Amino acid sequence: MNILDQNWLVAQCKEIDGVSNAILMLRAPEGKKLKVVAHWSFNGKGQVVELIPITNAVLLQKKIVVNTQVKDDKELNDTFDYLAIPLGSENKLCGIIAFKLSSMDEKGRAGLAKKIIQSAKYILIANDASRVAFLNSQIQDEKEALVNSELAQQGAMKASVGGRTACANQSETIAPINGPILKDPDSLSTSVNIKAKPTDNIVRISKEGPAHSDHDYAAQHDLYTDVVKLESAALEQKTYEASSRVMISELASSLECERVSIGILNHQHVRVTAISDQSNFDPRSNMVRAIADAMEEAIDQDTVISYAKGHLSKDLIDKAHAVLADQHGASTICTFPLIYNGEIFGAVILERTNNNTFCTESILMCEQFCTLIGPYLALMRSNESSLFAKIRQSINATASGFFELQNLRFKVLASVCTFLIAYICIAEGDMQVTSSAVVEGKIQRVVAAPMDGFIASSNLRAGDIVKKGDVIAILDDKDLELEHLKLRSQREKVQREYREALAKYNKTQVRILSAQAEQIDADISLVNEQLARTQIIAPFDGIIIDGDLTQSLASPVSRGELLYKIAPLEGYRIILRVDEKNILQVQDGQKGLLALASLPGKTMPMKIEKITPVAQTVNGQNTFRVEASLEEKQALMRPGMQGVARIDTGKATYIWLWTHDLIDWLRLWFWSWRP
């Protein structure tokens, strides 16, 4: 679709109240068929095919067709109209525009038809295929008008007073598909139901001043051709600056203006961006400031201002225009706001110095030109702006629409999200380090095998509570008993021999036997000691935390082999395994909480006692051993219990608490890949 045709259709639909779907059809390049060149629908829901039947009716009847009071399929109580208007003249059909809009009376439809026919001349000229047919039809209409001088005088009066054109004077009738035939549109009121918005480009022209000059243009079709030339020249440029300079230069040449300027609204003030007769200018000069003030005057009133020197308007404020005319030599000034998406973003000001005022037709032409070129300039300027400016514009647009009543649910959700984001960026929470934990006794006693032997009996295992002196296991003592019996027999034999030697007064033999007896007594004492140690005794009150010999009866054990581990029932320490990335946050004296797997509903306060500055690999992770003590005694706690510990390391914002791990990882990753 052509951007000029699309922009024109969008501008028309936004000015008409209640339009939900519209299409524009113009002559195809071969000049034989009409094709859809532009389409607009409210919220993008309308379809082109919905308006094709009524355009076919126009092709058959060659006049305005309306289908009234059509019921909506979704809302049975709502009705709407289909309206299709032929473009061109009775001699040649150049195009068709069709609308689906809210129901209106005959007077409103007639006024709407006149307005569309008046405005559509620019599009017909712009369309290459329709241009020849349309101009030929205009020439034919002028020839017919010359035949009847009275009609020619009436047409000239309408052109000077009401801004009507030849296409608007056609005597077509509105024939509904299913309804009565309407009267001639010229016989009805020309009022159009326009949206009551200040930025909808409602023209209010200062009527004071001398009569309009006929020096502007001699024929209307020449005027329309110049509009297309202006549009084409501006659209051919690739940058905003080039387009604006070409546009004002062409306007100055076509309308014989002394100076044409364009300005952009920025933070409630106009900044002049281009002047037709100056490539470089000082924005602080008096002339540029006066031009900007005149533009702001038109923008503030949301209207076109036409000023003739010495004639102040009673309806509009044009003091800035008067100052510009008095101080810088302009005799006639006309200012046009530039509009995009219902918002004024700039203005164009035309100045003449030869006392040649702007006629109504010239003003309407410039208004239509600015309406069509405005969106193009706004989009081009937006595309050329920096990324920061685009972000700022997006934020400003979102913020400005935030306070409207539309999309209330979305705005409430956005407000809640904004509040939550602000809260997590400002509010602080407890910074904690989490690690695995194991309960150990402060003292652990190892019970080892006192000698080589075999397990005779054992009734205790890990988890059993023992008291000091309790027998926890017994080793087999049969070999020791036999050894003890053997030694006793040997001792009795030596004693008998000793007595015999003593009776014979054999001193040498007495000494030898006495030494043997002492040796045997020492061996007997050793065996007795070994027999006593066959019973493994608990060294203190505590709990067996490791060892189970109930499944190893009669199995051999070696001297020094670990049999049991016993810990006292009181006095525990907590062994934490802190990840290396969090160890710098942990310090001696910090407090925390411990939750054991066997007691998940209960947390126990603890205190950091010692940090071992040596990393160990546990389950594939580098960890540091940290010892902590419980601040309160726990009757149900037992050594070997496991759980999770959380160490309080200070305060930090919630956003940092939730993102610092990721940030640290990204920082390390970027550093590792940095050249």
Helix axes 149-161, 360-384, angle to 10 degrees: 50
User: What are 484-508's pLDDT values in tens digits?
Assistant: 888 888 888 888 888 888 888 888 8
Is residue 67 within 8 Å of residue 176, measured between CB atoms?
yes
Q: Measured between alpha carbons, how far is 141 from 155 in angstroms, rounded to an integer?
A: 11
pLDDT at 405: 60
Q: How far apart are the first and last CA of the chain?
A: 50
Identify which has the larger pLDDT, 350 or 361. Answer: 350
User: Average pLDDT for residues 544-570, to the nearest whole number?
Assistant: 79
Q: Where residue 616 falls among pLDDT bands split at 50, 70, 90?
A: confident
Whether 390 has a pLDDT exceeding 50, the answer reads yes
Span of 165-169, 291-295, 582-586, 670-674 with lowest mean pLDDT: 165-169
pLDDT at 413: 85
Measured CA distances, 475 to 539, 555, 556 (Å): 17, 10, 9
Q: Where residue 31 falls among pLDDT bands split at 50, 70, 90?
A: low
Q: Do domains 1-195 and 567-673 have the same CATH topology?
A: no
Measured CA distances, 399 to 168, 395, 396, 411 (Å): 43, 6, 5, 10
Of 89, 96, 34, 94, which is closest to residue 65 (Cα–Cα)? 96
pLDDT at 406: 62
Q: Where residue 175 falls among pLDDT bands split at 50, 70, 90?
A: very low
With a pLDDT cut of 70, the percent of the chain lying above it is 80
Is residue 303 within 8 Å of residue 202, measured between CB atoms?
yes
pLDDT at 645: 93
Backbone angles phi, psi at 653, to 5 degrees: -65, 155
Q: Measured between alpha carbons, how far is 112 from 97 in angstroms, rounded to an integer?
A: 12
Helix axes 106-119, 3-15, angle to 10 degrees: 150
pLDDT at 509: 84
Q: How many CA atoms lie within 13 A of 96 on its CB side?
A: 25
Amino acid (one-letter) located at 463: G
pLDDT at 401: 64
Span of 205-214, 444-453, 629-638 with lowest mean pLDDT: 205-214
User: What are 226-285's pLDDT values in tens digits?
Assistant: 667 777 777 777 888 888 888 888 888 888 888 999 999 887 889 999 998 787 888 889
pLDDT at 260: 92
User: What are 333-357's pLDDT values in tens digits?
Assistant: 999 999 887 789 999 999 988 777 8
Q: Where residue 380 falls among pLDDT bands split at 50, 70, 90?
A: confident
Fold annotation for 197-385: Beta-Lactamase (3.30.450)
Angle at 199 between CA 194 and CA 200, to 5 degrees: 30
Identify which has the larger pLDDT, 430 or 639. Answer: 430
Question: In which order are the strands placed within the sheet that holds 535-537?
Answer: 535-537, 471-475, 453-457, 556-557
Class of domain 567-673: mainly beta
Residue 16 per-residue DSSP state: B
Fold annotation for 1-195: Beta-Lactamase (3.30.450)
Whether 152 has a pLDDT exceeding 60, the answer reads no
pLDDT at 184: 35
The domain limits of the chain are: 1-195, 197-385, 473-540, 567-673
Measured CA distances, 338 to 20, 207, 335, 383 (Å): 25, 22, 10, 17
Q: Where residue 626 falls among pLDDT bands split at 50, 70, 90?
A: very high
Cβ neighbors of 319 (< 8 A, separation 6 or more) are: 297, 312
pLDDT at 142: 46
User: Average pLDDT for residues 286-295, to the nearest whole number?
Assistant: 92
Whether 88 has a pLDDT exceeding 70, the answer reads yes
Tally the residues of the chain. 675
Residue 553 per-residue DSSP state: T
pLDDT at 261: 92
Q: Measured between alpha carbons, how far is 188 from 66 in angstroms, rounded to an integer?
A: 16
Burial class of residue 485 (count of CB atoms within 10 Å of its CB; 0-12, 13-18, 19+): exposed
Residue 33 per-residue DSSP state: S
User: What are 181-237's pLDDT values in tens digits?
Assistant: 233 333 322 222 323 333 333 333 333 333 333 344 344 445 556 667 777 777 777
CA of residue 512 relative to chain centroid, distance: 107
Q: What is the mean pLDDT of the chain?
A: 76
User: Average pLDDT for residues 312-329, to the nearest whole number?
Assistant: 84
User: Structure tokens of 604?
Assistant: 């126990």
- CA-based torsion, 383, 386, 391, 392: positive or negative: negative
User: What are 523-553's pLDDT values in tens digits?
Assistant: 888 888 878 777 887 887 778 877 777 777 7
